[in-house]
Structure 1
Amino acid sequence: MLDEGLQPSAQTFGALVNAAVRVGDLSQARTWLQESRKQGVNPGVVAYTTLLKGLCEAGQIKEAQQALDDMLSSGCQPNIRTANTLLRGFRRAGEVDASLELLRRMEDEWGVPPDATSCEYAVALLCQGLRVKAARALLKRSSAKAAGAGSAEGTEGSAFVTWEGGKAAAFRNRASLWTMVAEASLLCNEPRVRARRALKRARLLRRKAAKWQKQERQTREAGPGASSAGLFAEFKERELARRAALIEDHLESHDALEAPAKHMTRLLALPQDIPDEAGAVSGQALLLELQRSFGLRGDQPTAEAKLLQRLNAIADGEGQLHLDAVFRDVLPLKVELCSGEGEWVCAQAAADAGKASWVCVENRRDRVFRTFSRALLTGVCKNLCVVAADAAVFLRMLAPGSVAYMYVNFPEPPVRRGLGDGEIEGSGAALGADAAAPHLLTAETFRSVRRVLSSDGMLLIHSDNVTYLRQLAASLDAVGGFANVSDPGPGIVRDGLRLSAAQHKHIIMHCRHCSKAPAARVGME
């Protein structure tokens, strides 16, 4: 472009940064921003916000904060989308204090008032940090502001409309926030009347959402995307109804929960700056992470001293986690990697009560909180430990031969950076190490899994992506040490297999650890 005498603009660099972020190449995205400055071009708020989005989605919060500083030093002013991008990243990383500081800077330094999405992220983070009074106050304050603008929760205004659009989504989002407040109120062991009041407000808002949903459905039935919008709204309502029912059931049929410091013996959070090679992690470091992201406060010194004693037994300070110190009973250990919001693992732990101990690992701390809350409210915490950690780091810190079963449910295939349909890294194919963005199921991960599985342990990978499973089978074959990976058997996925829509099923790959001969089998559920 430069050779032909053309001058790149802010839009040019914005497009280049966006392309790099979309394939997970954050280093290249930063390089394009540096090049824009060399060319004397301010890339603009869109390009910086795009980089912030990529960094936050990769969990690189410190780097995102540095990028924000670079943005401000270049004279580029953040907008509401910039702020909400950071708030979303803070929510995923459990950065409660950083989110409150960002809310302050938005208004005091940037002149950018928070919108409905800002409020959603901030309230969710405050609930995750068990700062229920602050969350309740923020919700009431935002309602008062809306009322001043002619749009209160009980009126027909649109001040709470978010990216989903429409008043139904606005009321449903508010109902979701009050449901979060009720949930956090229970976890904080507040008087139960407060949780009931929050649920009552949520029910009122859900009824308003249902009313507006009917009206909006009638007006857009003939429009494009009407079907998908309706399905999404129904999914959100069902999800919200399940959460509310879980809280209501606990209020009706269970005793009050223990104080946070006592029930957090089933929640571990690894520091997010552990180096690639697993370093030492102390019980004190685990305690600080619980304080930073999950609301553990220093107002119960006796309970926290006992918790620290347990955490010191789990983390030996030499880079290894002893999960046998988490559970009272010595039972087979089952682990789910990348467990999402924990519905599956909570159901499995309930079914395995007295038979097995479960650990689920999830890097996003908002999902970890939802899983931990679900486990507490359903009473499955006796044989379930919820871990906030990068799965690859967690595996490196487990004791060899300590796991009986390892589960990975519907893993995301890696994003390709190059051309063609090459196989994943470690499978022996020609795809280079730089051809895919960082992802979980690499050859190195499989070597870690092989190390922590017992001699007759099993790895189960569930997916509906046949091509990806073939690539994973090839990678396992190359790593070695697994049996029943490629031997012919019932339901094997053969080359050239085509599934019609009626035949489509989830694919399962069973991989049993073996110290002798590696093999492979891919089967259908």
Structure 2
Amino acid sequence: MADEAALTQQIGAFALEKRLDRALAAFAELERRGLTPTLYTYSNLLNAHVMAGDICGAEALLRRLPAAGLAPNTVMYTTLLKGYCAVGDLAAGRRLLRTMASAPLPSRPDARTASTFLRGCVRAGDVGAARWAWRRLPEWRVVPEPPASLAFARLLAQGLRVGELKALCESLGGGGGGGGGGGGAHEAASRGTRNPCVFWERGRCERGRNCKFYHDARHAQHDEAQRAAEARDAEGEARLHLAHVAALLGREALCTRALDRAAALLARDEPADERDMKKLRRHELRRDVARVRQYVEARRARRGEAEALGAGLRRCLLFSARLDQPHAPCSRPAAARRLLDGLERTFGLRRAQRRGLVDGDDIARALRRAVSARGRLRWARIFGDELPLKMEICSGTGDWVAAQAKADVGKGNWAALELRHDRVYSIFSRMVLGAVPNLCVVGGDAAGVVAQHTKPRSVAHAFINFPEPPDRQGDEAADTSLHLLTPAFFASLHRTLQPRGRLTIFSDNGRYCRTLAATLGTLQRADGRKLFACPALEEHSALRRERIEGVTLHHGVPGPEAGHLCYEQSFFDRFWEARGQSGDLNGTWRFFILLEKVDV
């Protein structure tokens, strides 16, 4: 039994490290010793498959359980659901939820299951799937926790569903969906039980209103202040989403009321022992409140919101967020249809058209003009000029790319490429509310967009800022099919660069930068010539640097010579500041690589 427990624990550790090969080896060793895997063992191995992006392997493992005399429980189903959401396969996620809903009690959806699926909907930008799941929460007997409510609020805002979003904000303000402990329509007493919850009686029940046992309101809770703070933050963030969509729709009075309420809820910082990330999140929300308010105050001096919204949607190009499908070329009609479907599914195009805010036919024509006969993006048609195209890959929420584009108006055009559709929406917001005319946002898997939808020799400069390593713990041997920055991707990116086009990679992770430098330094053509060279940098000559496989790794922050036209504080900078560890931007925690395409 001790051997089985130790090997099970090893499998769990390998799963977190994304070392599927080692997890499988540990499982094989367990079987070789004649030990019997428990449901917990299978659960850890399932997580190893999911963490490595091996969804087919995860499905196959679940199918093996009946032969072992076991049945999957809620935790295992939710783990597989997390895998489906990670690759953007929400159709499979919905099928799994239906299976869970009709399964015996130990396998039914719970609050974590609901949050997992709704976060997947946010990532893929699927408003319809989120509304489907939200309507089923009562029949699943699940009360949404704050993360689930906020995921749904974000999607309602993206889909321009103002009425539903207002109702959700009111429910959060009244305690609904806030994750409290004692009341609500789904409290244990309404389920026919008065059996007391021993954790509640001791002063803390992690399940809150989703607990199956009775919570007596007379028992004070140790985390009461924390839950109250979470409820305030949740309502504040939801009100901010409402203000944002109201601003896009030109509903100034509604926007102002929502902003005022959000600002009041987010104004207070909690006790000093609160986690840094919560404080940083609240600070980021305050920044967004100020940004939307600035737009509202300046709107009278600018053109009408209908025109601004329509112009923004014409420069919003949404491809699929699926990561488990092959990257295949497509025709102009097929590509244009995908782009139009993306705006309808994610950004509420049809609702905007019904409100008379945009001309849907005009946007459809613009999307057809935006792609070539082979389904590749035509930057001159998108922007209406022939200025050099600069592209940031994995743009996050868009602070940096919007600042660079604003500094480059009249001299260059910018494309922000981002997989997660919630971040695409954040970039879209900065583009529209910030009136950035030379910026477009491209949603989808960067590997597919670069390989199949970007013309050869069409990009003057590509940027990758703060790339995520395969494993956050820094293990380069981590096994994941979802890693983007592979030799194949860099070869595709090389084809899209113009002659002497450049690539700048900027990070605070020196270990990962050295790995990328080694990868880039070994890329070569069939005749042995390298794909990239390192240009000299006069303005960075005083910085420390090192050479890895012929690639120069600079210590410090890139400047205009490396393509960074202006300094824009990143989320990561604010994160380190919040922890009191801002570091030395000119050497200690910042690194960059600048490469130039070696052409034929």
Do the structures match in fold with TM over 0.5? yes
**Residue in 2 that maps onto 1:37:** 66
Kindly indicate whether the alpha-carbon contact (under 8 Å) linking 1:26 and 1:55 is maintained by their aligned counterparts in 2.
yes
**Residue in 2 that maps onto 1:431:** none
**Residue in 2 that maps onto 1:253:** 298
* 1:88-127 matches, cutoff 5 A: 88-108=119-139, 110-127=140-157
**Residue in 1 that maps onto 2:533:** 484
* 1:390-469 matches, cutoff 5 A: 390-396=445-451, 397-415=453-471, 435-469=479-513
Paired residue secondary structure (2:463): strand
**Residue in 1 that maps onto 2:597:** 513
Distance (whole Å) between structure 2 residues aligned to residue 37 and residue 231 of structure 1: 44
Alpha carbons of structure 1 residues 272 and 143: separation in structure 2 relative to 1, 3 Å: same
Alpha carbons of structure 1 residues 469 and 230: separation in structure 2 relative to 1, 3 Å: closer
Paired residue secondary structure (1:515): coil
1:289 matched to 2:342? The reply is: yes
1:375 matched to 2:428? The reply is: no
**Residue in 1 that maps onto 2:567:** none
Alpha carbons of structure 1 residues 456 and 322: separation in structure 2 relative to 1, 3 Å: same
* 1:180-259 matches, cutoff 5 A: 180-190=241-251, 192-207=252-267, 209-210=268-269, 213=270, 216-217=271-272, 226=273, 229-255=274-300, 256-258=304-306
* 1:130-169 matches, cutoff 5 A: 130-144=160-174, 146=176, 165-169=226-230
Distance (whole Å) between structure 2 residues aligned to residue 416 and residue 34 of structure 1: 30
Identity of aligned residues (%): 33
Q: CA deviation at 1:131?
A: 1.0
**Residue in 2 that maps onto 1:54:** 83
Kindly indicate whether the alpha-carbon contact (under 8 Å) linking 1:332 and 1:356 is maintained by their aligned counterparts in 2.
yes
Q: CA deviation at 1:60?
A: 2.8
Kindly indicate whether the alpha-carbon contact (under 8 Å) linking 1:262 and 1:303 is maintained by their aligned counterparts in 2.
no
Aligned residues: 480
Structure 2 regions of 5+ residues with no counterpart? 1-29, 185-207, 211-220, 525-529, 556-582
Alpha carbons of structure 1 residues 284 and 403: separation in structure 2 relative to 1, 3 Å: same
Q: CA deviation at 1:206?
A: 2.1
Distance (whole Å) between structure 2 residues aligned to residue 141 and residue 39 of structure 1: 45
Kindly indicate whether the alpha-carbon contact (under 8 Å) linking 1:278 and 1:393 is maintained by their aligned counterparts in 2.
no
Paired residue secondary structure (1:412): coil
Distance (whole Å) between structure 2 residues aligned to residue 355 and residue 175 of structure 1: 39
> Structure 2: which amino acid aligns with 1:251?
V
Paired residue secondary structure (1:56): helix
> Structure 2: which amino acid aligns with 1:290?
L
1:129 matched to 2:122? The reply is: no
Q: CA deviation at 1:102?
A: 0.5
> Structure 2: which amino acid aligns with 1:234?
K
Kindly indicate whether the alpha-carbon contact (under 8 Å) linking 2:329 and 2:374 is maintained by their aligned counterparts in 1.
no
Distance (whole Å) between structure 2 residues aligned to residue 454 and residue 163 of structure 1: 59
1:14 matched to 2:58? The reply is: no
**Residue in 1 that maps onto 2:406:** 350
Structure 1 regions of 5+ residues with no counterpart? 152-157, 218-225, 423-433, 517-525
> Structure 1: which amino acid aligns with 2:148?
S
Kindly indicate whether the alpha-carbon contact (under 8 Å) linking 1:124 and 1:180 is maintained by their aligned counterparts in 2.
yes
Paired residue secondary structure (2:171): helix
Q: CA deviation at 1:323?
A: 1.9
Q: 137-146 vs 94-103, which deviates more?
A: 137-146
Kindly indicate whether the alpha-carbon contact (under 8 Å) linking 1:270 and 1:286 is maintained by their aligned counterparts in 2.
yes
What CA deviation, in whole Å up to 9, does each residue of 1:67-114 have, x standing for no partner? 334445654211111111101100111110111111112213x22233
Q: 1:384 aligns with which of 410, 414, 439?
A: 439
1:303 matched to 2:362? The reply is: no
**Residue in 2 that maps onto 1:341:** 397
Kindly indicate whether the alpha-carbon contact (under 8 Å) linking 2:90 and 2:129 is maintained by their aligned counterparts in 1.
no
Q: CA deviation at 1:471?
A: 2.7
> Structure 2: which amino acid aligns with 1:507?
F
Paired residue secondary structure (2:521): helix
Q: 360-369 vs 283-292, which deviates more?
A: 283-292
Kindly indicate whether the alpha-carbon contact (under 8 Å) linking 1:116 and 1:159 is maintained by their aligned counterparts in 2.
no
> Structure 1: which amino acid aligns with 2:254?
R
Q: 481-490 vs 39-48, which deviates more?
A: 481-490
**Residue in 1 that maps onto 2:196:** none
Distance (whole Å) between structure 2 residues aligned to residue 271 and residue 279 of structure 1: 13
Q: CA deviation at 1:302?
A: 7.5
**Residue in 2 that maps onto 1:221:** none
> Structure 2: which amino acid aligns with 1:456?
R
**Residue in 2 that maps onto 1:425:** none
Larger relative contact order (C-alpha < 8 A, sep ≥ 6)?
A: 2
What CA deviation, in whole Å up to 9, does each residue of 1:299-332 have, x standing for no partner? 2498111111111111235332212211022211
Distance (whole Å) between structure 2 residues aligned to residue 330 and residue 163 of structure 1: 59
TM-score w.r.t. the length of structure 1 is: 0.83
Distance (whole Å) between structure 2 residues aligned to residue 231 and residue 2 of structure 1: 44
Q: 142-151 vs 371-380, which deviates more?
A: 142-151
Alpha carbons of structure 1 residues 16 and 73: separation in structure 2 relative to 1, 3 Å: farther
